[in-house]
Amino acid sequence: MLSRLNAPYFSEMDSPIGKLLLFGDERALGALYMVDHRHQPTFPAGCTRRDAAFTEAHQQLRAYFAGELTAFDLPTAGQGTEFQCRVWQALCTIGYGETESYGGLARRIGNPAASRAVGLANGKNPLSIIVPCHRVIGANGALTGYGGGMERKRWLLEHERRVAARRS
């Protein structure tokens, strides 16, 4: 997944939902995973720790967790299939503090029968939190699978709702 990144680096940071692992290069953030993330890749060959390459990502993530940032503005290079990328782009249009069902997302990308495929693409999102896959829920409003774990998904949704309510 990250093999196309030039001289890949990684960084770690603590957060209210546990340690976060960032991958990327000088140009863009390629992935953000949580400890024990279901689809976390192994470190690419030659990947070295370079926290300085992720200064802006760290700052924006800290601001997000502090309730000061509701939209990220980072160069990203998440890699996936054409369908996955369409789903990930659609995820970025779900408003802060809001949720959408897998079926609703499938309809919005023009493929109403693809709710399961949307779920699979959502689960493969390499840029958790930045590309807000945690905002997708079941058709009945129930929280459903999350690569970072259900407790983290619940925390992220509750955090965003609290911040959005405070801003209203």
Q: Report the C-alpha gap between 77 and 44 in whole angstroms.
A: 15
Which candidate in 47, 85, 92, 133 is catalytic? 133
- Is residue 133 part of the annotated active site? The answer reads yes
User: Do 12 and 20 form a contact (C-beta atoms < 8 A)?
Assistant: yes
Burial readout 129-156 (b: 16 or more C-beta within 10 A, e: otherwise): bbbbbbbbbeeeeeeeebbbbeebbebb
Provide the sign of the torsion angle of the four alpha carbons 147, 163, 71, 35, taken in this order: negative
Please list, in sequence order, all residues whose beta carbon lies within 8 angstroms of the beta carbon of residue 42, skipping any fewer than 6 positions away: none
Catalytic residues: 133
